[in-house]
Structure 1
């Protein structure tokens, strides 16, 4: 794993962008000598309002808690945000973009002006509806991110998230199993 990585998550309140940023940080920080933080910057958002969350990874303690970053990776959890946000804002020249969409990669590249960037698509809404019964794209996007970055194998990421959900002690087995399936399916289907 790279010793330093900045990730920006764009979604809408209620889709789990903040939870995904924090969950990823928790998974990554379990590796010895790696520090991670997951946080969001928002006010009293109502369900459906745009939200931005962040995950920082470093081999040194992270003292920067600002929202400014030059991300290596940008994830878009809500396809309706395409065109409403500047996905490329601060994105490194060799940056990666992962979009939750049913559109194909070429359409997304053209729509967002992402020529020259690595762009990946996965239909995380469809996956979450099939595995969890509703469109909560955060865990499928973690699965897609794991595959795109090579941070975790499919087994490592699904096992890690399942363990975190079990430790929380508030999710029924059906939800935990649905999240496992969502992660593994997105890991396989991201293109």
Structure 2
């Protein structure tokens, strides 16, 4: 299980190539992706055997499962299909003592009851230390070769280093060395977990019930777990015309970012550029009046707002850490020499800021205080395109977000198939949403060249309706 853009798929293709070329084993790889673009979920199904493999099957009875992003633990049945006495490897920043608190009860139960060999490794730290950023592929591939025992470890890692030279040689010796260093450093960083016996009886903590719409509980959650094919037709009652509700991405809370921006209140000049540039609408400015200031949480720090007409308000830049993708656009665009946004480990920010985000969503919009056709003024308007599935750092979605801030309550969108249709409405993830009056963009995805003609039809229909109303 990998995160799109972390190198997992490429590394697994390398493993297939090494084993297929260097042994007498037959090999097969089958890769499936969700449609969240870079930053989405990838699953790599690898099979090796002495008999010819006639078709590209999925692996339903695995000897080895690796989870390359800890957020998957809370969204998928990650160990489904792992055989008794199998091996599970988890990339996470936790030490052994923290596992008891962090792992879901279902994972702990499965590991304990099925005698799973459980290993952890902090792949992100290793990759960062050698200069690879979030490219954890070589770290996790080293773990695979050490534990899967398809080849003798030393032999396999030698082949892996040879392939690194072949793959990255044209990019320079520095890139080759960083990847080879990742292999060398990873081999001794795997930690085997002695599974406590009481994990077999682990129970989930009873969390407060969230009042979510039926669509979210009965359809979206199921589809997001990759179990949508198990939904009966009757589950879609009331959706026979093919429409999906708007604003469903707000319930996803994927938590995929390794690093999340932290606001430095004393360095912020209140320019609004961080919100303006954010591809996913996960960082926003908020103005608080006196009543909101009185009921805010203690951790919700604010500064006196700067600007004509803002004298009676307090200013806050708030991040939604569970929706952020960690692209760092906001930190990069900050014009202050000593940045007002600093990228920090996501887990800490999720603990600190998730409740603050929930409070921020209750703060009323303060429209009309500034010219909305300025950078700062536009960012006080509610984005009606939020938490989309585009690649982290996408350069296109900030424009769409801005358009919805200015005109979204009366937009109709005829969207040709392409990137914008995938991040714009990939069922069940609908980032187009509505304002407090229930008004927002209407979106449809005609196929390819039909989009312009369909859009013309929409415009003609609106024009006719207006002419009839004016008679």
Range of TM-score over shorter length:
0.7 to 0.9
- Aligned-residue offset at 1:87: 1.9
33, 44, 65: which is aligned to 2:24? 33
Higher RCO, Cα 8 Å, sep 6+: 1
Unmatched 5+ residue regions in structure 2? Answer: 192-471
Contact 1:71 / 1:91 at 8 angstroms: preserved in 2? yes
Aligned position for 1:12: 3
> What is the aligned residue count?
182
Is structure 2 residue 136 aligned with structure 1 residue 145?
no
Is structure 2 residue 56 aligned with structure 1 residue 65?
yes
Matches of 2:64 and 2:16, distance apart in 1:
14
Contact 2:93 / 2:122 at 8 angstroms: preserved in 1? yes
| Cα shift readout 1:111-137 (whole Å, capped 9, x = no counterpart) | 322223111011111111111330111
Aligned position for 2:174: 174
Aligned position for 1:46: 37
Residues 140, 156 of structure 1: alpha-carbon distance in 2 compared, 3 angstrom cutoff: same
Contact 2:73 / 2:103 at 8 angstroms: preserved in 1? no
Write the mapping of 1:81-92 to structure 2, written as runs, cut at 5 A. 81-92=72-83
Matches of 2:78 and 2:161, distance apart in 1:
30
| Cα shift readout 1:3-40 (whole Å, capped 9, x = no counterpart) | xxxxxxx0110011211211111121233321112331
Contact 1:69 / 1:90 at 8 angstroms: preserved in 2? yes
Between Structure 1 and Structure 2, whose CA radius of gyration is higher? 2
Q: Which moved more, 1:37-46 or 1:27-36?
A: 37-46
- Aligned-residue offset at 1:173: 1.5
Contact 2:164 / 2:180 at 8 angstroms: preserved in 1? no
Is structure 2 residue 188 aligned with structure 1 residue 188?
yes
Matches of 1:16 and 1:153, distance apart in 2:
23
| Cα shift readout 1:169-188 (whole Å, capped 9, x = no counterpart) | 54322111111111121111
Residues 61, 105 of structure 1: alpha-carbon distance in 2 compared, 3 angstrom cutoff: farther
Matches of 1:32 and 1:21, distance apart in 2:
16
Aligned position for 1:136: 135
- Aligned-residue offset at 1:144: 1.3
- Aligned-residue offset at 1:152: 4.5
Contact 1:24 / 1:38 at 8 angstroms: preserved in 2? no
SS in 1 for 2:85: coil
Matches of 1:150 and 1:158, distance apart in 2:
12
| Cα shift readout 1:65-119 (whole Å, capped 9, x = no counterpart) | 0224211000111112122121221111111101111213461695322223111
Aligned position for 1:104: 95
Aligned position for 1:21: 12
Contact 1:79 / 1:101 at 8 angstroms: preserved in 2? yes
Contact 2:24 / 2:50 at 8 angstroms: preserved in 1? yes
- Kindly indicate which of the two structures has a greater share of residues assigned to strand: 1
Contact 1:70 / 1:92 at 8 angstroms: preserved in 2? yes
Matches of 2:141 and 2:157, distance apart in 1:
9
- Aligned-residue offset at 1:154: 5.3
Residues 145, 121 of structure 1: alpha-carbon distance in 2 compared, 3 angstrom cutoff: same
RMSD: 2.2
28, 31, 47: which is aligned to 1:56? 47
Matches of 1:153 and 1:68, distance apart in 2:
23
Matches of 1:43 and 1:145, distance apart in 2:
23
SS in 2 for 1:38: strand
Write the mapping of 1:155-170 to structure 2, written as runs, cut at 5 A. 155-168=154-167, 169-170=169-170
Matches of 2:72 and 2:103, distance apart in 1:
15
| Cα shift readout 1:22-68 (whole Å, capped 9, x = no counterpart) | 11111212333211123311255411111111211011221230224
Matches of 1:68 and 1:151, distance apart in 2:
16
SS in 1 for 2:51: coil
